[in-house]
Amino acid sequence: MELLEPQPLIFEKSRPGARAARFPAFADGGADLDAAVPAQFRRREAAGLPELSEIEVVRHFTRLSQLNFSVDTHFYPLGSCTMKYNPKVNDRMAALPGFAAMHPYQPAATAQGALELLDDLEHLLCEICGMDRFSLQPAAGAHGEFTGLLVIRAHLKSKGEGHRNKVLVPDSAHGTNPSSARQAGFDVVTVPSLPSGQVDVAALERLAGPDTAALMLTNPNTLGVFESRIGDMAAIIHRAGGLLYYDGANMNALLGLARPGDMGFDVVHLNLHKSFSTPHGGGGPGAGPVGVKAFLDPYLPVPRLRRVEGALAWDHDRPQSVGRVRSFAGNFGILVRAYTYIRAHGAEGMERNSRAAIINANYLKAKVRARYREAAPGPCMHEFVVVPDEAIARGIKVADIAKRLLDFGFHSPTLSWPIRNCLMIEPTETESRETLDRFADALTRIADEAASDPEKVRSAPHRLPVRRMDEVAAARNLDLRA
């Protein structure tokens, strides 16, 4: 089948003289290039661009797009990424001319509809999370973390507690947590986990103190386990004079069920490209709104929306603000999509989705645990972590299992994180029971193959246009000709 053949590079398809558009010559012969462009700005040799007809370009990129694994084509159980379906109605709303054809510099008086949407979205996110204010500016999860930590730092400084320079981060945290803390000027202290996967609260108590600025926490955590002692942890951190930061990466387990604000968190960020069904991966772009309790409101990024005599306007006069963190109003088109998702599902629908995400994960875990050891036994939330002990004992790597899954038409789970040699699986609410059954069957079959025909797993994939890449050769013999 032609579609399954490897595709040459567009440069390899180039034929001298082939082209799409032909422009007529200038009637007057055109401007004198030498006179119009100074010598140092003139190209001395051809740009080396490929030469193809229009249909060749269209076919090239269409075929490449057909080779892609995406949520629209395949089950995508990439743990901690919430690769749920991106409803097409989101795109339709974002494409409405009233939104899509706006200009960020047009006067606020002519953009009241868009500003109402932003204002309404802020209030909806507050209600969903139990927070008082949200900034929609940050353009990604880690950007939200960084912004939230700047807010915390500004607050501590204004209280005369700028000496608090330690951010506590559990060892199972997303890697972005410690790096965001460092970027925001804090030192990172790692909090150990218990064998159950939960934070070691006794250790947290020992580590919290007069230098504590904040604890960053994901709940449920990266093993898919709910931190049931969150109330104790909040009390410990607040008693020590620090703040609680909620990483919303795993919020898909909690929508409509529990609110970070009620758990004691002072700052949260959400990943709209995870929990709120906006595109994720491939450039997204993302959106990582940051929510705070009222006492942190003065520090949120400028400008803020303010209602003056019934109309919304941007308020730049906020002297304690950490400043602007993103141009204009953030990734506006993405915010429209998230708003559409919330409005389409409503409070009940989002709660149903979270329940389905949790049930799907538990169902899938129950189906695979006979062959894949659970990292945290017991019920999970929206995702779970398993270790393929049998296969690893036979010298098979988790990456081999991931490549073999491609043959069955499944994207890989997250690998070797948060623990070594593991698969981190997040089915989301999107998938049907039939899809989950097929995925569990594929994992079981791969476990069988690991014993009966390990080479088949090691040399996978077998049914894709390209076989396994030689990463070592590619890295050792870089070909950077362009």
Partner 1 sequence: MKVPDHLKYTATHEWVRIEGDLAAVGITDHAQAELTDIVYLELPAPGKQVTAKSPVAAIESVKAASDIYAPVSGEIAEVNAALPGDPGAVNARPYESWMFKIRMSDPGELAALQDADAYRKSIGG
Interface residues toward partner 1, by CB under 8 A: 471-472, 475-476
Check: CB of residue 363 under 8 Å from CB of residue 433: yes
Kindly tell me which of 175 and 323 has the beta carbon lying closer to partner 1: 175
Least CB distance from residue 182 to partner 1, whole Å?
16
Nearest to 337 by CA among 94, 23, 79: 94
Residue 220 and residue 382: Cα distance in Å, rounded?
8
Helices (H) and strands (E) in the chain, counts: 17, 13
Closer to partner 1 by CB, 104 or 175: give it.
175
Residue 306's SS3 state is strand
Q: How far apart are CA 278 and CA 90, in angstroms?
A: 8
Token digits of residue 257: 């069920």
User: For residues 325 and 143, is the Cβ–Cβ distance under 8 A?
Assistant: yes
**Alpha carbons 166 and 170: distance in angstroms, whole number:** 13
Are 104 and 303 a contacting pair, CB within 8 Å?
no
Distances (CA, A) of 437 to 253, 376, 427, 440: 21, 22, 11, 5
CB closer to partner 1 out of 54 and 389: 389
Residue among 218 and 414 whose Cβ is closer to partner 1: 414
Shortest distance (Å) from residue 164 CB to partner 1 = 28
CB of 457 to partner 1, least distance (A): 18
Shortest distance, position 472 Cβ to partner 1, whole Å: 4
Please state, in angstroms and rounded to a whole number, the distance separating the CA atoms of residues 269 and 32: 56
Indicate the residue among 1 and 478 with the shorter CB distance to partner 1.
Answer: 478
Minimum CB distance to partner 1 smaller for 324 or for 420: 420
| Cα 414 to Cα 385: distance, rounded to the nearest angstrom | 9
Least distance in angstroms from the C-beta of 474 to partner 1: 9
Q: CB of residue 175 vs partner 1: minimum separation in angstroms?
A: 13
- Residue 262 or 470 with smaller CB distance to partner 1: 470
Chain position carrying tokens 């500016």: 137
CB of 374 to partner 1, least distance (A): 23
CA dist 101 and 107 (Å) reads 14
Distances, alpha carbon 410 to alpha carbons 431, 435, 441, in Å: 12, 10, 12
The CA-atom distances, in angstroms, between 62 and each of 3, 35, 57 are 10, 42, 8
**Shortest gap between Cβ of 470 and partner 1 (angstroms)?**
10
- Judged by beta carbon, residue 337 or residue 403, the one nearer partner 1 is 403
